[in-house]
Structure 1
Amino acid sequence: MKRRIAAIFNIAAGVVLGIFIAGQFGFTNDENGFLKRITGKDDREAVQFHAPPHPTEISFAGEKVPLERWDVKERFDRELLFNYYNQANILYLLKLANRYFPIISERLQVNGIPDDFKYLCVAESNLLSGARSSVGAGGYWQFMKSTAPNYRLTVNDQVDERSDLIKSTDAACQYIKAAYEKFGSWTAAAASYNMGQGGYNGQVSFQGTKYYYDLQLPEETNRYLFRILTFKYLMANAASLGFVLKDDEKYNTIPTQSIMVNTNIPNLAEWAQARGTTYKMLRQLNPWLYGRSLNTDGKTYEIKLPAP
């Protein structure tokens, strides 16, 4: 009898708990009307999803995107739907962007590259220094280990400058500028960043046009530019699209001091402790450091430490 009563009690408790959880995770109308709760004939509530609004026009690096074309509009729509409803990722990117965009924008400006290319960095790595692709591309701008030295990036067992934001951004600018000079279009330069200048040029030669929106390209590159455009649209219009962060919820620039090092450091943990910090903090502030020691090989490195 006690077992029967206990079973009935457990069932009843489960029902009550289920109703409570469903209520907690239910959706209500938001100010944009993309998600709302509706009531059916039987008074049960269901969630209704709406597509986010499209921009009437959008450009990349000052070059107009022909959204009046159905194929272009639908490709943009696909990336917009997938990324708009990945709210956690967009919010996280907005937090990171507050820390990294000022640095990236400054380097783009110095190198004469349009500011919109900061969204290419988002598409490449989600602004994560340790991002690695399945084929071995790494860092903020996803350089391959074999090609990084061509852009003055050191990659070895102790140092990986693909994870140095300033140096890797300057390297990306070098590539982008060369691609723009070759194809005469920032859009084409961005596409070639994904498939290589040789790959893009081969398609141009075969199909008889340099215009990105008229080229049949590999699916990854077909989607690539529209992912960049989507990040631009969502991040530049975050608040009006429902992605709201308070200032104290964003990640701020970390105060640091810099030390120039041109001699070998046999033990980075001891070196960090002697300067009032830890090996963990050293690695966090300098994600390009990979080993337990540092052989400079005649180079000078800027190492960041916590501000005093």
Structure 2
Amino acid sequence: MKTIKTIFACFGLLSLSALFIFAVQDAPSDDNLEKKIINDYNVYALNVPDDLNFAGEAMPLHDPDVLERMDRELLVNTYWQSNALLIFKRANKYFPVIEPILKKYGIPDDFKYLAVIESGLTNAVSPAGARGVWQIMKATGRENGLEINDNVDERYNLEKATEVACKYLLEAKEKFGNWTLSAASYNAGKAGVSRRLSKQNVTDYYDLLLGEETGRYMFRIVALKEILNNPNKYGFNFRLKDLYKPIPTSKISVDSAVTDFVKFSEKFGINYKILKLHNPWLREPHLNNKSGKEYFIEIPKEGYYTKP
């Protein structure tokens, strides 16, 4: 038995050695390696367009600091290909929800890119406790009428969260007089932006000396706007069928407690997972609803989660 094991072990070592030798022999020489890299993979410096703007407000790209910071964000977001491609896919699914609400409130369409950099269009949770696509803090949500507790957290309701973001941005626009500072205040807070403007005796976002996060904020928004609007220009290739599709739903009114969402889901021909995917604001497998409040639960149209 030991002899057989020894033979197999030797055979295994010989096989591995052969594979290793083959791999080494197959690898290009030093001279050919450089040519192979040059021919097969290229990283290009990018041209920063000279007409970039946010919500119609031009970026002062004549300022070399502004130009370099914009160049950085274009490079980072272009060459972080997997992240950018996922955003292309998600945008096709979620922008149709966000865009009409922005329009309803008179908020420029460019603010949908703010949601992109806030969360990557996912229901993210920040270390500070901000949640959802729009990264709304608990206090801000409650101040704007969202229900937030262990049972229900409407920061995860994309429609309602977008409305809260719109209300905040309208207040910020009234305070600062332009959309760029309003967007920056979404990250740093209205008081934070006001304090920095006052201390530094300037009136423009691009003249402020800011910390890393807020200092990159507007540049990241504009970079994602530029890339998402010009995929081929930045090397992104995909078919329409590659993008995530919005799934049509019906809204079911509920004004009483629901003791078991598993059974509730089954009544509509879906499972609990699918119910949660469309209603992430339902935080527990039941709904307390002691007050008799009316909620609208989204149920996907028949056939979207079953084989054709």
Structure 2 length as normaliser, TM-score?
A: 0.88
> What SS does the aligned partner of 1:43 have?
helix
Q: Which residue of 2 aligns with 1:256?
A: 249
Q: Which residue of 2 aligns with 1:179?
A: 172
Structure with max Cα Rg? 2
Mark the runs of 5 or more structure 1 residues left unpaired by the alignment: 24-38
Q: Which residue of 1 aligns with 2:48?
A: 54
CA drift at 1:15: 4.2
CA drift at 1:275: 2.5
CA drift at 1:63: 0.1
Contact 1:66 1:72 in 2 (8 A): yes
CA drift at 1:147: 2.2
Contact 2:46 2:71 in 1 (8 A): no
Partners of 2:246 and 2:25 in 1: CA distance: 44
Letter in 1 for 2:20: G
Partners of 1:261 and 1:18 in 2: CA distance: 66
Contact 2:102 2:109 in 1 (8 A): yes
Structure 1 runs of 4+ aligned residues shifted over 4 Å read 1-6, 17-20
Q: 1:87 to 1:300 in 2, by over 3 A?
A: same
Contact 2:113 2:225 in 1 (8 A): yes
Q: Which residue of 1 aligns with 2:32?
A: 43
CA drift at 1:151: 1.4
Show CA shifts across 1:13-47 (max 9, x none). 13434777x79xxxxxxxxxxxxxxx97x232335
Mark the runs of 5 or more structure 2 residues left unpaired by the alignment: 1-5, 303-308
Q: RMSD of the TM alignment (CA)?
A: 2.1
Partners of 1:298 and 1:19 in 2: CA distance: 74
> What SS does the aligned partner of 1:295 have?
coil
Show CA shifts across 1:149-185 (max 9, x none). 0111111111111111110000000000100000001
1:307 partnered with 2:301: yes
Letter in 2 for 1:112: G
Letter in 2 for 1:74: E
Q: Which residue of 2 aligns with 1:81?
A: 75
Tell me which of 123, 146, 151 is aligned to 1:153. 146
Partners of 1:17 and 1:258 in 2: CA distance: 59
Letter in 1 for 2:157: D
Q: 1:50 to 1:154 in 2, by over 3 A?
A: same
Contact 1:188 1:210 in 2 (8 A): no
The number of residues matched between the two structures is: 290
Structure 1 length as normaliser, TM-score?
A: 0.88
Q: Which residue of 1 aligns with 2:120?
A: 126
